[in-house]
Amino acid sequence: MSLCEACVIEEKIHVCCARYPLSGKRVPLGLACGRTVLACRELDARGLCRSYDTRPEGCRSFYCDRYASTERRLGPAREPEKRHS
């Protein structure tokens, strides 16, 4: 599991996946706890991106402080992880 996959969905919505970067649009997302929040249209209820392999440049270039600090502590990954929806 990657750090991104382990990130709590509420944190993702607050930090990186709050809206679709090309339009700024937010859509209702039903969470497992029964709560509904507004988030990027590509985010699923598990907190995974439905279009990870073809995500927009705004998502690809997003700089995550949490990921970067963990990578500095642990060293760079040997091979990028592929996400499957």
pLDDT at residue 78, as a whole number:
47
Q: pLDDT per residue over 43-58, tens digit each?
A: 988 888 899 889 889 8
**Amino acid (1-letter code) at residue 34:** G
> What's the domain range around 21?
3-74
The answer to the question of residue 47 being in a domain is: yes
The answer to the question of residue 27 being in a domain is: yes
* Angle in degrees, CA 22, 24, 14, rounded to 5: 115
Helix (H, G, I), strand (E, B) or coil at 52: helix
pLDDT of residue 72 exceeding 80, the answer is no
The answer to the question of residue 42 being in a domain is: yes
Q: How many other β-carbons are positioned within 10 Å of the β-carbon of residue 31? A: 15
The answer to the question of residue 37 being in a domain is: yes
Q: pLDDT per residue over 13-39, tens digit each?
A: 888 888 888 888 999 999 888 889 999
The answer to the question of residue 80 being in a domain is: no
Helical H runs in 1-85?
3-6, 9-15, 57-60, 65-74
Domain count, the chain: 1
What pTM, to 2 d.p., does this model score? 0.67
The answer to the question of residue 69 being in a domain is: yes
Q: Which two tokens stand for residue 84?
A: 């499957």
